[in-house]
Amino acid sequence: MPLKIAIFISGRGSNLNAIIQAVADKRLDAKIQVVVSNDPEAQGLTIARQHGLKTFALSHKGMKRAEHEQAVLKHLEEYEIDFVVLAGYMRVLSSEFLRRFKDSRGFYKVINIHPSLLPAFPGTNGYEEAFNYGVKVSGVTVHLVDEQVDHGMIIAQEPFPRFNDDTLETFKARGLSVEHALYPAVLQQIAKEGIRFNERKKVETAK
């Protein structure tokens, strides 16, 4: 059974495009039920429509967070959804929203990709902040979403180097190509095996 997903975007949609391509190439056993955006002008919506996907765009401007989320949730009721996939969705989701996707084990079936090795450089400018800090290695994180921003159980991380002659543009481009490979691969792992917790036990350290 394909993993039924709703993909949330706010802009360019290059991760959305990578997921669409992975489904088309049969590298990812998923069905994109709907693409949601909080920006009706988002470039990614055009990509979605070009591929015949259903879209739902509703600007958050002038709306309270709860009102906007309720409208999105109402729309999502039309679809069966196993996982919400955040792909450059630049809105924080409230716990009321997240609870709607609660798994029986207590986690939320909402996943995000972030352009840094979390917990370093959370927020909206992961690449810029890592680059300006002078990191020698950066990376990409895919994690489950919880109530905190860019926080939640890490599912996968993929590092990439920063070279001495990098500009912010070359650094970002390297990171984005890592994102485009990693996100579909992680989604395929979830499609096959679900979310696995048992290998992630914390170790108590002596004080």
Compute how many other C-beta atoms are within 10 angstroms of the C-beta atom of residue 197.
10
| Stretch 67-86: interaction string toward ligand GAR, x if CB under 6 A | --------------------
Return the closest-CA partner of residue 22 out of 163, 84, 14: 14
* Interactions with ligand GAR, residue window 37-56 (CB under 6 A): 44
Q: How far is the CB of 61 from ligand GAR (least distance, A)?
A: 19
The interface mask with ligand GAR, positions 115-134, x = CB under 6 A, is x--------x-x--------
C-beta of residue 17 within 8 angstroms of C-beta of residue 46: no
What's the min distance (Å) between Cβ of 88 and ligand GAR? 3
The candidate with the shortest Cα–Cα distance to 87, out of 46, 35, 127, is 35
Task: Give phi and psi for 40, each to the nearest 5.
Answer: -60, -15
Among residues 47, 109, 37, the alpha carbon closest in space to that of 71 is found at 37
User: Of residues 28, 114, 142, 152, which one binds ligand GAR by CB under 6 A?
Assistant: 114
Q: What is the number of the residue whose Cβ is closest to ligand GAR?
A: 88
Q: Residues in the site for ligand GAR, rule: CB under 6 A?
A: 9, 11-15, 44, 87-88, 113-115, 124, 126, 150, 179
